[in-house]
């Protein structure tokens, strides 16, 4: 954009989109679970009420929902497997938007496919709504182990590995060089305790998402505050012990099986 | 001021936000003096430090974590004695007063006598990048690439008689100011180029403030400026 007095600026660049995620690092994103929040009027009321960045979910592939959220001034969009997908083959072309997107991933190939579509931020899928951290751990461990593998490969091996994990070669090469994902990577899906949050941070995540893990617990406000502190002091077991005291009952964790109501959410996404 | 042989323990506060990026930039500097980077999460960490960077992040979250870690008062004391640089959210924390806060307000350290508005441009879709002329940098005729993310806007300079003078280091052209905030008139001849709201980098005494994010670029000239000018007191 060029202005009358000669000053010029560029809006919605990948730099400012991935940069906002960098500002969220070491933090906790709280997923407020409530059906009425899909109404744009409700979302606008939330944007007006808080100064912190506001993220909202759209269905996988539903680019019109994303257009609507962009125009009402949402700060981040989660193209989320938690909602019923609108498209069973395609994800949203996220490069076409000024608003940044976060997407879930179970492994390195999936993460790099989302980044190639324009995601400026990746999270583990985990298994949302279960209060059980096992799937988030599995996904983060896969991503990190695949990055470690790629980081010692020769260029020829990287070409073959890119084909194997269905990832764009240039992004795989960049990841191997950086020894981490080229965008910020959070944990999500089943984090329920301060120790869960610190576990994900020690496994290499940059921050965490929490939803039902706090809102379905005995004392959500106290638990939320404890998890925020656990993410900052994730390497200090003494502080973790202190913040884990007297925070009420944790959400009861669910066993993750294919027979769960709604099935496995993490399997959605292509 | 440091004596030549003594190592400078330079510091980044690591409660929340983009502290790792600052750490990377500081490690890239080639300096005669030894520089160690400490990530500060407790009063003990802070006591090792000779200077501090308050990173970008979410300013109310950083202030909350500082309070819970018992760091708020030690940080205020530190700010009275030693050089501090605040970027974006850190700039908000370093200001004397903040506008645009919601319920509960915003705790600040008050190292620089200005008033600042958080999130001055609006939501994330208004975040932008722009080339800046920054005074006092090495190769200062080469523009610095400013990355502004939900950035704050300086509203007014309010130095008290005994405060060190405030020195403007970089301005944004007035046409880039957020329309909703500034009420910039359509006829731009009437606007004041010295409008405080165009200031995006400034210095008061040994403190530095930038509303943009030098740590998100590959250009370490502002980090060099802070270490050389503000911390060591030797021109770049």
**pLDDT tens-digit readout, A99-121:** 999 999 999 999 999 999 999 99
Query: The pTM is what?
Result: 0.90
Confidence check: pLDDT of B209 > 90: yes
**Degrees (nearest 5) of the Cα angle B92, B96, B102?**
55
Domain range for A144: 19-267
A114 is in an annotated binding site: no
Answer yes or no: is B236 within a domain.
no
**8 A C-beta contact, residue A201 and residue A229:** no
Neighbours of A226 (CB within 10 A): 24
Q: B100: left (phi > 0), else alpha (psi -120 to 50), else beta? A: left
Answer yes or no: is B22 within a domain.
yes
Domain count of the fold of chain A: 1
What is the structure's pLDDT at B120? Answer: 87
Asked which of A17-21, A30-34, A54-58, A146-150 is least confident by mean pLDDT, the reply is A30-34
Answer yes or no: is B222 within a domain.
yes
Q: A11–B124: do the CB atoms touch at under 8 Å?
A: no
Coil vs helix vs strand at A98:
coil
Answer yes or no: is B181 within a domain.
yes
Q: A7–B216: do the CB atoms touch at under 8 Å?
A: no
Answer yes or no: is A172 within a domain.
yes
Answer yes or no: is A100 within a domain.
yes
**8 A C-beta contact, residue B222 and residue B214:** yes
> How many CB pairs (< 8 A) connect A and B?
136
CATH code at B175?
3.40.50.880
pLDDT band at B17 (very low <50, low <70, confident <90, very high): very high
C-alpha B166, offset from chain centre: 14
What is the structure's pLDDT at A256? Answer: 86
pLDDT digits (tens, 9 = 90+) for B129-176: 999 999 999 998 899 999 999 999 999 999 988 899 999 999 998 888
**8 A C-beta contact, residue B128 and residue B186:** no
Across the interface, which of A10, A15, A76 has its CB nearest the CB of B124? A76
Q: Residue B3: which residues within 8 A CB-CB, separation 6 or more? A: none
What is the structure's pLDDT at B189? Answer: 46
Domain count of the fold of chain B: 1
What is the structure's pLDDT at B123? Answer: 85
CATH code at A47?
3.20.20.70
**8 A C-beta contact, residue A147 and residue A111:** no
DSSP class of residue A2 equals B
Chain B residues within an 8 Å CB radius of A25: 16-20, 57
- Give the position of tokens 């009402």: A72
Answer yes or no: is B1 within a domain.
no
Report how far residue A131's alpha carbon sits from residue A149's, in angstroms, rounded to the nearest whole number.
30
A179 touches chain B (CB under 8 A): no
Answer yes or no: is B167 within a domain.
yes
Domain range for B187: 8-231
What is the structure's pLDDT at B81? Answer: 94
Q: Residue A149: which residues within 8 A CB-CB, separation 6 or more? A: A161
Residue B166's Cβ-side half-sphere holds a number of Cα atoms within 13 Å equal to 21
Confidence check: pLDDT of A131 > 70: yes
Alpha-helix residue ranges (DSSP H) falling in chain B: 19-28, 43-47, 59-68, 72-81, 89-94, 179-182, 221-225
A238 in active site: no
Q: Residue A48: which residues within 8 A CB-CB, separation 6 or more? A: none
Answer yes or no: is A183 within a domain.
yes
C-alpha A134, offset from chain centre: 16
**8 A C-beta contact, residue A250 and residue A217:** yes
Q: A53–B150: do the CB atoms touch at under 8 Å?
A: yes
Answer yes or no: is A12 within a domain.
no
A129 is in an annotated binding site: yes
What is the structure's pLDDT at A164? Answer: 98
What is the structure's pLDDT at B129? Answer: 95
Report how far residue B150's alpha carbon sits from residue A103's, in angstroms, rounded to the nearest whole number.
21
The average confidence (pLDDT) of chain B is 88
Report how far residue A58's alpha carbon sits from residue A86's, in angstroms, rounded to the nearest whole number.
9
Answer yes or no: is B3 within a domain.
no
- Closest to A120 measured CA to CA, from A36, A37, A53: A53
């Amino acid at each position: 954009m060029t202005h009358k007095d000669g000053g010029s600026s560029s809006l919605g660049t990948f730099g400012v989109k991935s940069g906002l995620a960098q500002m969220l690092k070491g933090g906790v994103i709280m997923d407020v679970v409530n059906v009425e929040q899909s109404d744009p009027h409700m979302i606008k009321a939330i944007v007006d009420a808080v100064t912190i960045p506001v993220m909202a979910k759209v269905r996988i592939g539903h680019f019109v929902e994303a257009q609507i959220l962009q125009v009402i001034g949402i700060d981040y969009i989660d193209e989320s497997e938690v909602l019923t997908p609108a498209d069973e083959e395609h994800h949203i072309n996220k490069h076409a938007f000024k608003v940044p997107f976060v997407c879930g991933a179970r492994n390195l190939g999936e993460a790099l496919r989302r980044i190639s579509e324009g995601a400026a931020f990746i999270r583990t899928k985990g298994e949302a709504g279960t209060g059980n951290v096992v799937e988030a751990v599995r996904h983060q461990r896969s991503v990190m182990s695949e990055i470690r593998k790629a980081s010692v490969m020769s260029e020829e091996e990287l070409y073959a590995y890119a084909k194997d994990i269905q990832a764009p070669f240039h992004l795989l090469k960049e990841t191997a060089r950086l020894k981490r994902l080229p965008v910020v990577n959070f944990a999500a899906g089943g984090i329920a305790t301060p120790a869960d949050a610190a576990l994900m941070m020690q496994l290499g995540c940059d921050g965490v998402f929490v939803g039902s893990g706090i809102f379905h617990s005995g004392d959500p406000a106290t638990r939320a505050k404890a998890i925020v502190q656990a993410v900052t002091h994730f390497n200090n077991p003494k502080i973790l012990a202190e913040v884990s005291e007297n925070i009420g009952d944790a959400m009861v964790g669910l066993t993750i099986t294919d027979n769960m109501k709604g099935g496995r959410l993490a399997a959605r996404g292509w | 001021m440091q004596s030549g042989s003594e190592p400078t323990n330079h510091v980044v506060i690591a409660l929340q936000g983009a502290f790792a990026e600052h750490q990377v930039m500081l490690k890239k500097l080639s300096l005669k003096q030894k520089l160690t980077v400490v990530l500060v999460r407790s009063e003990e960490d802070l006591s090792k430090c000779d200077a501090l960077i308050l990173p970008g992040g979410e300013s109310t979250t950083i202030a909350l974590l500082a309070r819970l870690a018992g760091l708020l008062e030690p940080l205020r004391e530190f700010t009275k004695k030693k050089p501090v640089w605040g970027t974006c959210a850190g700039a908000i924390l370093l200001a004397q007063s903040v506008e645009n806060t919601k319920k509960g307000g915003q705790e600040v350290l008050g190292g620089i006598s200005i008033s600042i508005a958080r999130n001055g441009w609006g939501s994330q879709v208004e975040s932008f990048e722009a080339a800046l002329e920054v005074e006092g940098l090495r190769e200062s005729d080469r523009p610095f690439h400013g990355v502004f993310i939900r950035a704050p806007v300086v509203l007014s300079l309010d130095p008290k008689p005994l405060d060190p003078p405030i020195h403007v280091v970089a301005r944004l052209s007035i046409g880039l100011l957020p329309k909703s905030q500034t009420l910039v008139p359509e006829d731009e001849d009437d606007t004041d180029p010295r409008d405080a709201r165009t200031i995006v980098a400034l210095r008061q005494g040994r403190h530095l403030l930038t509303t943009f994010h030098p740590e998100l670029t590959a250009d370490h000239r502002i980090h060099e400026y802070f270490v050389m000018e503000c911390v060591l007191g030797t021109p770049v």
